[in-house]
Chain A
Amino acid sequence: MSVYSLINNVARLSLQTSFSNTISRNVSTSTSLLFRATPCLMAEPLKKKKRLDPAIVRSREERKKKKIEKQIRRLEKNARQLKPIQECEVSLAILDDRSKRERNLPALSGEIVEKRILLEKKWALFKREQHLKDIQLIDRIGYSQQRAMDELRNESEELYQEALQIDFQLLPFSSQGPVETPPIKDYQPPDGDYQDISKVWQ
């Protein structure tokens, strides 16, 4: 028995008289749903399933499995091979004749070692004082600005609020210099060809 005939049989039980009406609606406002079922048309008859030899099926699955395993193995092998960084990796040629490259300088005399240690200490002191000065400087500039802001608030709350706004022209901020020697005016750099020799790694 098809679904269609079943629905038709059940439909007779419905209390709703409008069911038998010829007007068809897609939306129902009453309790029973008004939908119509039609038998499917122009469908292809189902094909008969082919029976396969279980041995062939098994071999096929095995082949699939092997393929995936092979891929995994290849990935694992490659995982250990990192992209070489030329700057970090010393070439083997250099490593081989390392002993030839040793400077073999005479050991430093006690006097020089002493002098160096003293200089290190002097330097540490110098840097510390520099750092302290920097802290004081930042503190002073911050204080100067805070004082200006406090005075501004005393004068006008409105202007103070305006001054608190973020300056978007300032961001992103960039600054260059200073450099060792001043730039030469109208300097023409000597011509040269640009050759990109960086290797490509896949």
Chain B
Amino acid sequence: MLRKSFKLLLNEKLPLYTKFKGHLSTTSLVNEKWDLLTAVCLERKPVITQELNEIQKEYEELLAEVEFERSLKSDHELQHELELKQIEALKKGDSDDLDVNLKQTAQDFVDLCVEELTQFKKGSKITQDDKKNNDKSLNRKLDKHLVLLVNQKLGDQKHYLLPQGKREEGETLRQAADRVLKQCCGPNVKTQIYGNAPSGFYKYKYPKQIRNEKAVGAKVFIYFARHLEGQLPDKGVDYKWLDRQEMDKILPAEYKKSVGQLLIDE
């Protein structure tokens, strides 16, 4: 069984690797110049945990049952049992203990606690923005990862892509990523880029009319960043916070593959 799974792993990996090798050889054969671009994949972590699936729920129940079976009775349970016996005795009338009715019984205590719990209102898992499907809001799809996409003009077409920008002379890629993020998000948003190394890569060729000696296409180095706090400005930028499925619908096919590779699955 184990061996089979490893084979599976290898099979998954092989075609990618051979494809990658093919890429390398083409670029080394022809000495083309490429524009270097930096993009930032800004992701909001889920705020709440995802709902358990069926087997997880079943197993959770089992664990609770086993824990109950192995446990010993608590003081509270003992008191409750004792009180039940006393009430029985009172009903029969062979006890004249008057104190029983005066003190708080275990059942009373439980009732009080339950009442307090029902009065407490938990934060709702489904927010207003979920109902309106406001994809500009961070307060949506709390149990999912959300990625920032910005509407950008490439050539004469507009696409929703990760915020990207050209690297300027004398800048490292990381500095470019910082700059791009700041330009896109404004001063209110706090973010953290994970490391100096890019996490993903994508390249595309310009259409033949624009292609020149300076550059035949763009190589996009994607940095991964985590959103910490703050909202983007309302005006000036056309952006969307999307989860994985929504991103799949909106991104160009090849681009989607590159971005999907550096993100964790949901």
Known: A102-B73, A119-B59, A167-B174; 10 extra A-B contacts, CB below 8 A, are A103-B72, A103-B73, A136-B9, A144-B258, A144-B261, A169-B192, A175-B45, A178-B49, A182-B123, A183-B47
What sequence of 0s and 1s flags, for each residue 172-190 of chain B, a beta carbon within 8 Å of any chain A beta carbon?
1110000000000000000
Nearest B residue to A98 via CB reads B72
Residues of A close to B192: CB separation below 8 A: 169-170
CA distance A178 to B201 in the complex (A): 29
Q: Is the CB of B196 within 8 A of A164?
A: yes
Interface majority SS (helix, strand, loop, mixed), chain A: helix
Task: Identify which of B13, B45, B59, B195 contacts A139 (C-beta below 8 A).
Answer: B13
Q: Given A101-B78, A103-B72, A143-B13, decide whether A162 and B196 contact each other with a Cβ distance below 8 A.
A: yes
Check if B241 is an interface residue, CB within 8 A of chain A: no
Contact A140 B201 (CB under 8 A): no
Contact A182 B45 (CB under 8 A): no
Q: Across the interface, do A179 and B194 meet the contact criterion of CB distance under 8 Å?
A: no
- Please measure, in the bound complex, the distance between the C-alpha atom of A105 and the C-alpha atom of B70, giving whole angstroms: 10
CB contact list, A155-202 vs B, under 8 A: 155-156, 159, 162-167, 169-170, 175, 177-184
Q: Are B49 and A180 in contact (CB under 8 A)?
A: yes
CB-defined interface of B149-169 with A at 8 Å, one 1/0 digit per residue?
000000000000000000000
A70 within 8 A of B: no
Q: A145-B197, A149-B198 in contact; A123/B55 too (CB < 8 A)?
A: yes
Taking chain B's interface residues, is the majority helix, strand, or loop, or is none over half, making it mixed? mixed
CA distance A163 to B222 in the complex (A): 12
B197 touching A141 by the CB < 8 A rule?
no
Annotate A74-116 by CB proximity to B: 1 below 8 A, 0 otherwise: 0000000000000000000000001011110100000000001
> With A137-B264, A167-B196, A183-B123 in contact, is A123–B59 under 8 Å at CB?
yes
State the Cβ distance, B207 to closest chain A Cβ, in Å. 22
Inter-subunit contact A178/B197 (CB<8 Å): no
Given contacts A148-B222, A182-B123, contact A159 B48 (CB under 8 A): no
- Chain A residues lying within 8 Å of B174, measured Cβ to Cβ, are 162-163, 167
B203 within 8 A of A: yes
Chain B's interface size range is 35 or more
> Closest residue to B28 on the A side, CB-wise?
A154
Query: Do residues B262 and A178 form an inter-chain contact, with CB atoms below 8 A?
Result: no
Question: In the complex, what residues of B have CB within 8 A of residue A133's CB?
Answer: 265
Least CB distance from B144 to A in Å reads 10
Point out the residues of chain B lying under 8 angstroms from A35, CB to CB. none
B198 touches A178 (CB 8 A): no
Chain B residue with the shortest CB-CB distance to A135: B9
In B181-235, the 8 Å CB interface with A consists of 192-201, 203, 219, 221-222
B262 contact from A126, A144, A177, A179, Cβ within 8 A: A144
CB contact list, B57-107 vs A, under 8 A: 58-59, 62, 69, 71-73, 78
Q: Which residues of A contact B255 (CB under 8 A)?
A: none
- Contact flags (1/0) for B112-128 with A, using CB distance below 8 Å? 00000000011111010
- Interchain CB contact (< 8 A) of B195 among A132, A154, A167, A179: A167
Tell yes or no: A150 within 8 A of B by CB: yes
**B18 an interface residue at 8 Å Cβ cutoff?**
no
Q: Is B24 an interface residue (CB 8 A)?
A: yes
Measured in the bound complex, the distance between the Cα atoms of B12 and A137 in whole Å is 11
Please list the 10 inter-chain residue pairs (A to B) with the smallest Cβ-Cβ separation, ordered nearest first: A148-B201, A101-B72, A182-B123, A144-B261, A162-B172, A148-B198, A101-B73, A181-B122, A144-B262, A184-B123
Contact of A148 among B48, B221, B264 (CB under 8 A): B221
Cα A119 to Cα B61 in complex, Å, equals 11
> CB-CB < 8 A to B193: which residues of A?
167
B245 close to chain A: CB less than 8 A: no
Whether B261 contacts A181 by the Cβ 8 Å rule is no
Give the shortest distance, in Å, between B18 (CB) and chain A (any CB).
13
B46 beta carbon closer than 8 Å to chain A: yes
Q: How far is the CA of A180 from the CA of B12 in the complex (A)?
A: 35
B245-266 interface mask toward A, CB cutoff 8 Å, 1 = contact, 0 = none? 0000000000000100110110
Partner of B196, one of A98, A123, A141, A163: A163
Residue of A98, A122, A136 ringed by the most chain B CB atoms within 10 A: A136
Give A67 to B262 CA distance when docked, in angstroms. Answer: 72
